[in-house]
Chain A
Amino acid sequence: MNLSGWGNYPQIDSESIGLDKKQALLDWIDDKDEVIAFGNGRSYGDSALSQHVVLCRPHNYFLGFDEVSGLLHVQAGVLLSEILEVFVKRGWFLEVTPGTRLITVGGAIASDVHGKNHHQAGCFSNSVKSFQLMLPDGKIVNCSQSENHELFNATCGGMGLTGIILDAEISLTKINSAFIDQQTIKTANLRETFEAFEKYQDVTYSVAWMDCLARGDNLGRGLLMVGEFCDDGNLYYQVKRKPGVPFSFPGFALNSWSIRAFNALYYGRASASRQKVDIESFFYPLDAIADWNRIYGRKGFVQYQFVLPRASSFEGLREILKVISDEGKGSFLAVLKLCGAENENLLSFPLEGYSLALDFKIEPGVFDLINLLDQRVLHHGGRIYLAKDARVSQAVFEKGYASVDQFRDIRQHYKMNHKFNSLQSRRVGI
């Protein structure tokens, strides 16, 4: 079958088997050396792509829940959206959630995803008590902070390269409302955007949308959205069926003019405000438009997310935004986030500083532009997020991640490199 990540780039013709197939799966995996787990395909690039993929979605049973502690035991193919559908109305929420609820628990662990509360709650792995991992020889081991600690740290953020996560115990957090008290702060330039982030650091959830194509004095303007769960006891939660994007837009539909116009409109319309919003609109605004990735046309798009250490963030972002706005190749979505401290996992992405995520439609010149951005990112001591990546070179990737050799050693030790490989792992040499 033809597979691709969320960016529809690249695509590969893969052979697949379901993770629910047990014995047949073991036999199938046995003689293959290019196998990778495929969750819900919400990573943008080639993290989950390989000649042979193990489809995790069919492996989706809830295995247990402790009403007192909020500890939930699920198989790895369960979607975060399924967890929300069951538990929000009972007063529980995910400790950490990314900007889409349509990802699997396995994918959340493998990318060690982060959310709007990273500066306070850290990555998804913080909510993971333990998981079972299937190693290359089919052996199943339990991993946690106290048991097989090394495998735990390599697997969280390890992009499926240490084996297949079968099930996991994750902690949910108590909420007393399914609504969020949201405040929007409008900023006129990068300086103000940074100041706003610092000012609202104590608020649990925060993220900013940036107008990447704004130039000159407006460079770095945006909207910071911060919020806390309300305390009104209203746990009503229902996801409406939403209209989707029915077909891929023709390639010319998005160009620098339409994006610039969209961004200017969006920014112009928004005003500083405070309102009560539901979980969907606060955490998952993009999920409201099914298949929104099709607006980028058949050739697809790449997403580019990097993080810079706090000290160099301002200068670095200023330079990078300038390169982008000069080129006029920006995106609908540029998302800025102040991350908290780095964790112990070998390949987890966040480190303390500012992270920016951008979309680029695949078109001539776009890879050259991104290569330029790579250099700015490295110059300022930053790194690239693999879950969003489809093109980064080994040299650029490695410079960002100090523990990459330790990760390679573990792969070798367990012979994971002879079994679990993705297009991405081949490219970045891990």
Chain B
Amino acid sequence: MSMVLIVGARSDIAKAVARKYAGEGYDLYLAARQAESLQELAADIEIRSQRKVAFGELDILDFESHQKFYESLPEKPIGVISAVGYLGSQEEAQTSFDEAQKITNTNYLGITSLFDTIANDFESRGSGFMVGISSVAGDRGRKSNYCYGAAKAAFSVYLSGLRNRLNDTNVQVLTVKPGFVATSMTEGMDLPAKLTAQPEQVADDIFHAQQKGKNVIYSKWIWRWIMLIIKHIPEWRFKGMSL
């Protein structure tokens, strides 16, 4: 009856988000590459929540397939949440355009291609929510990951524009900017424990913000203040720093 579409469902954050929404009573459609591997997760969520969980194949880089994917869904979702992302290698992106393109297309163009399709549908139906997981990395470019950061920045701007466009309809657009999260993306990195969220915390934050109709959230919340400071460091100073 009320189904939520989760894109990039194999991600650790998405997994926690999926469990959270099902736990709150929503049916789910999980979309990812190698969708057959979602079998176990779908069963897990069905046992935990007694909700219906379907799943199917979606490659965010296969732009052409997005329209068809959306039309083939068994029912239209009441909301969509994207956790698709690709950190890639900054070093490689500097020398190989393929890597730079993959980072940009995964974090930005690919998702917007799918989101456009869904936004048009939600707009015409006059309801729905769209949640995009962007990143604090998009708030300011740093030498360690500015290719990824630029793509996330573009995605954040896209979501902001989309929110502006849909303001008069009943469609909510929520931008999520996680700081550090302990997931496979950050595995092996030495993250400061106090600033690092568990995927379950991010999922809780997303759910509550979405239910309250929020626009932009940081997770953990402290990142809003950290990024406020980082954004205000003058460029002449910032360019010499290693953050």
In the bound assembly, the distance between CA atoms of A64 and B48 in angstroms comes to: 9
Which 10 pairs across A and B sit closest by C-beta, in order of nearness?
A: A61-B44, A62-B47, A62-B44, A86-B48, A65-B47, A61-B40, A62-B48, A64-B47, A61-B41, A63-B43
Identify the B interface with A (CB < 8 A).
23, 40-41, 43-44, 47-49, 187, 190
In the bound assembly, the distance between CA atoms of A62 and B51 in angstroms comes to: 14
In the bound assembly, the distance between CA atoms of A235 and B43 in angstroms comes to: 25
Interface string of A81-103 (1 = CB under 8 A from B): 01001100000000000000000
CB contacts (< 8 Å) of A1 on chain B: these are 190
CB contacts (< 8 Å) of A65 on chain B: these are 47
Contact of B44 among A18, A63, A85 (CB under 8 A): A63
CB contacts (< 8 Å) of B49 on chain A: these are 86
In the bound assembly, the distance between CA atoms of A1 and B191 in angstroms comes to: 10
CB contacts (< 8 Å) of A86 on chain B: these are 47-49
CB contacts (< 8 Å) of B41 on chain A: these are 61
The contact sample of 9 A-B pairs, CB cut-off 8 A, is A1-B190, A61-B40, A61-B43, A62-B47, A64-B47, A65-B47, A85-B23, A86-B47, A86-B49
Max chain B C-beta neighbours (<10 A), residue from A1, A18, A62:
A62
Besides A1-B190, A63-B43, A63-B47, 4 other A-B contacts (C-beta < 8 A): A62-B43, A62-B47, A63-B40, A64-B43
B123 to chain A, nearest CB (A): 36
CB contacts (< 8 Å) of A62 on chain B: these are 43-44, 47-48
B interface SS class: helix
In the bound assembly, the distance between CA atoms of A64 and B43 in angstroms comes to: 8
B221 to chain A, nearest CB (A): 13
Q: Select from chain B the residue with minimum beta-carbon distance to A62.
A: B47
In the bound assembly, the distance between CA atoms of A1 and B49 in angstroms comes to: 34
CB contacts (< 8 Å) of B44 on chain A: these are 61-63
In the bound assembly, the distance between CA atoms of A63 and B47 in angstroms comes to: 8
CB contacts (< 8 Å) of A61 on chain B: these are 40-41, 43-44
In the bound assembly, the distance between CA atoms of A281 and B44 in angstroms comes to: 29
In the bound assembly, the distance between CA atoms of A82 and B190 in angstroms comes to: 27
Which of chain A's residues 10-27 have a Cβ closer than 8 Å to chain B?
18
A322 to chain B, nearest CB (A): 41
In the bound assembly, the distance between CA atoms of A85 and B48 in angstroms comes to: 9
CB contacts (< 8 Å) of A64 on chain B: these are 43, 47
B114 to chain A, nearest CB (A): 27
Q: Select from chain B the residue with minimum beta-carbon distance to A82.
A: B48
In the bound assembly, the distance between CA atoms of A63 and B41 in angstroms comes to: 9
A206 to chain B, nearest CB (A): 32
In the bound assembly, the distance between CA atoms of A62 and B42 in angstroms comes to: 10
B26 to chain A, nearest CB (A): 16
In the bound assembly, the distance between CA atoms of A62 and B15 in angstroms comes to: 13
In the bound assembly, the distance between CA atoms of A65 and B50 in angstroms comes to: 11
Max chain B C-beta neighbours (<10 A), residue from A61, A63, A64, A82:
A61
In the bound assembly, the distance between CA atoms of A62 and B40 in angstroms comes to: 9
Max chain A C-beta neighbours (<10 A), residue from B23, B41, B187:
B187
B109 to chain A, nearest CB (A): 31
Interface string of A318-361 (1 = CB under 8 A from B): 00000000000000000000000000000000000000000000
CB contacts (< 8 Å) of B40 on chain A: these are 61, 63
Which of chain A's residues 74-122 have a Cβ closer than 8 Å to chain B?
82, 85-86
Interface string of A1-42 (1 = CB under 8 A from B): 100000000000000001000000000000000000000000
In the bound assembly, the distance between CA atoms of A63 and B42 in angstroms comes to: 10
CB contacts (< 8 Å) of B190 on chain A: these are 1
CB contacts (< 8 Å) of A82 on chain B: these are 48
B208 to chain A, nearest CB (A): 11
B128 to chain A, nearest CB (A): 28
A72 to chain B, nearest CB (A): 8
B75 to chain A, nearest CB (A): 25
Q: Select from chain B the residue with minimum beta-carbon distance to A83.
A: B48
In the bound assembly, the distance between CA atoms of A95 and B44 in angstroms comes to: 22
CB contacts (< 8 Å) of B43 on chain A: these are 61-64
